[in-house]
Amino acid sequence: MFAFTGKTGLYAQQKDRILPKANQEYADNKFVEAEANYRISSSKFPNKATAPFNLGNAIYKQKQSSEAKFAYVKALKNSNSRGEKHRAFHNLGNVFMNEKNYTQAVEAYKNALRNNPTDEETRYNYALAKKMLKDNPPKDDKKKDDKKDQEKKDDKKDD
């Protein structure tokens, strides 16, 4: 195999030199800097799962969990292994828990466990999400609308 270099660039597989720098920034709690470099790495290597996953973590650490969700979804899309999928689903579950979206959290943790059934932290989070869902059932807007419609009908009968 050979690499062709010309005016348009290098065609051989490039090595990601940005990702290690971003990882170090993350380790040093420089989450904004790490985020910027993870974005660069992700744009240079759009089919890899590591940079989007780490980007999600950097954004999550900045208390922007809803934004982190998009990075985790991209990491899932690019995942090639059960381990990568497990970690992305697990962290998506954490985002949904922060948003108090317990239905989606249960599903995310369930998918994480499908990819790694032995992870006790995910198992604990799954049980907690199920309990929170039971204690805080989602509000069903359709039932509210049906009730309002019924009240309007009852009001018209009174006229």
> Is 32 part of any domain?
yes
Judge whether 101 lies within some domain: yes
18 vs 14 pLDDT, higher one: 18
Is residue 109 in some structural domain? yes
Evaluate whether 106 touches 132 at the Cβ level (below 8 Å). no
Give residue-wise pLDDT tens across range 33-89.
Answer: 999 999 999 999 999 999 999 999 999 999 998 899 999 999 999 999 999 999 999
**Residues 83, 54 within the same domain:** no
Same domain, 52 and 86: no
Phi, psi of 10 (to 5 degrees): -95, 130
Domain-located, residue 3: no
pLDDT at 98 over 90: yes
Residues 53 and 84 in one domain: no
Q: Are residues 57 and 20 in the same domain?
A: yes
Domain that holds residue 104: 79-137
Q: Kindly report, residue by residue over 100-138, the tens digit of the pLDDT.
A: 999 999 999 999 999 999 999 999 999 999 999 999 998
84: nearest Cα among 72, 93, 95, 102: 72
Using CA atoms, how far apart are residues 149 and 22, in angstroms rounded to an integer? 55
